[in-house]
Amino acid sequence: MTKPERDPYTGLMTTGHEWNGIKELMTPVPGVVKFFLAITILTAVLFWILFPTWPYGTGYTKGILNIDQRGLVEEDLTRSAALRATWEQKFSTTEFAQLEADEEAMALVRTHGARLFEDNCSACHGINADGGPGFPSLIDDQWLWGGDAETINETLRVGINTQHEDTRFGEMPAFGDQGMLDLKQRRALTSFVISLSRPDELDQKNMERLPEGKELFAENCASCHGDNGKGIKDVGAPNLTDSFWIYGGNADTIQATLKHGRKGVMPYFEQRLGEADRRLLTLYVRDMGAQKNE
């Protein structure tokens, strides 16, 4: 190491390091940087005191403010729940009929219900609640389990064919896969089912199958779909005499339904949504249907 010396060109001192004749100017870190570095370190010390910081074995210092993220989010949630309670409470305590007559309540339903519907229901039932193949429309005033508010609310709570202990249970058996009806019988039944809603679509060949189909229907289907095929809401069996179909009403789809069965699932929302939210959604769904049918 050589001695520091003054560089004749810049007037600055050198560091005293020399590498094969190359020397380095002494340009120390500016004072302002050192100042803020010191501030940073002091701030760190302050944080050590205020917030959870230092680990020791099985624990850590909690800091004198005793703040943790979980506590903060619980506070936020409690605060917003209290804010909501002012208008939300009536949805869990008032009768549905009364709420539906209350314009002010229904205005709330339309704003807040839309958001709940979009996040929880629209994935299956569609953003306009008009359903899709396999997922029923909610605005056609056709209901598997019943369309009054209490029933819809209960369906939301327990779902259909779910893990919920009170779940609604409905299943169309796989008559083909389980060997209960052979192909000829299923064809006859298909013709008969089509004849319930669209008799003029059937050609001569189909017409000939009807007597057999009718007999098979009485033996196999009437217990759920009713003697006249109009469906039984207690078991969630759809009306087969109208023009509304969940999976499709053409011959091929009815054949597939008879062969493989159907067991549509509606998730339960008791865990995911609170009671007020579920009741609000119930009102929203009914309101969408009412507006559509106006």
Partner 1 sequence: MLDKHAKLERNALAFVFAIIFVASIGGIVEIAPLFTIDETVEEVEDMRVYTPLEVAGRNIYIREGCYACHSQMIRTLQDEVERYGPYSLAVESQYDHPMLWGSKRTGPDLARIGEKYSDAWHVAHLINPRDVVPSSVMPSYAWLQRNTLKYEDLGLHLSALRKVGVPYTDEMIENAAQDAYGQTRPDSDGADGFLERYGEDSNVSAFDGDPNRITEMDALVAYLQILGHLTDVAQQTSSPEQQTSNLANGD
Does 58 participate in binding partner 1 (rule CB under 8 A)? yes
Closest to partner 1 by CB, 35 or 60: 60
CA distances from 212 to 98, 195, 198, 204 (A): 50, 13, 18, 14
The rounded distance, in Å, linking the Cα atoms of 183 and 175 is 10
291 binds partner 1 (CB under 8 A): no
Q: Is 273 in the site for partner 1 (CB under 8 A)?
A: yes
What is the dihedral sign for C-alpha 275, 117, 280, 82?
positive
Q: Between residue 231 and residue 260, which ones bind partner 1 under the rule CB under 8 A?
A: none
Selected binder of partner 1 within 144, 188, 276, 288 (CB under 8 A): 276
Q: How far apart are CA 158 and CA 156, in angstroms?
A: 6
Least distance in angstroms from the C-beta of 55 to partner 1: 3
Q: Which listed residue (27, 66, 78, 223) binds partner 1 by CB under 8 A?
A: 78
Does 84 contact partner 1 by CB under 8 A? yes
Residue with Cβ nearer partner 1 (76 or 234): 76
Residues whose CB is less than 8 angstroms from the CB of residue 77 and which lie 6 or more positions away in sequence, other chains included:
none
Q: Does residue 127 belong to the site contacting partner 1 (CB under 8 A)?
A: yes
| C-alpha span between 110 and 131 (Å, rounded) | 19
Choose which of 105, 109, 117, 120 interacts with partner 1 (CB under 8 A): 120
**Sign for the pseudo-dihedral over CA of 146, 149, 152, 154:** negative
- Site for partner 1 contains 61 (CB under 8 A): no
Q: Does 1 bind partner 1 (CB under 8 A)?
A: yes
Shortest distance, CB of residue 89 to partner 1, whole angstroms?
10
Q: How many CA atoms are closer than 13 Å to the CA of 83, on its beta-carbon side?
A: 6
Query: Do residues 136 and 144 touch, judged by C-beta distance below 8 A?
Result: yes
Kindly tell me which residue out of 73, 97, 218, 290 binds partner 1, with binding defined by CB under 8 A.
Answer: 73
Asked if 267 is part of the footprint of partner 1 (rule: CB under 8 A), the reply reads yes
Q: Smallest Cα–Cα separation from 281: which of 122, 144, 167, 160? A: 122
- Residue 115 interacts with partner 1 (CB under 8 A)? yes
Which string of b and e fits 79-101 if b means at least 16 CB within 10 Å? eeeeeeeeebebbeeeebeebbe
The pair of three-digit structure tokens given for residue 160, joined into one six-digit string: 């259909």
Does residue 110 interact with partner 1 by CB under 8 A?
no
Tell me the closest approach of the beta carbon of residue 124 to partner 1, in angstroms: 5
Binding of partner 1 at residue 180 (CB under 8 A)? no
- The CA distance from 142 to 293, in Å, is 12
Closest approach of partner 1 to the CB of residue 193, in Å? 22
Spatial separation of the C-alpha atoms in residues 209 and 218, rounded to whole Å: 15
- Which residues between 137 and 166 bind partner 1 (CB under 8 A)? 162-163
Residue number, 109 or 221, with CB nearest to partner 1: 109
Q: Which residues bind partner 1 (CB under 8 A)?
A: 1, 55, 57-60, 69-70, 72-74, 76-78, 80-84, 88, 111-112, 115-116, 119-120, 122-124, 126-127, 132, 134-135, 162-163, 264-268, 271-277
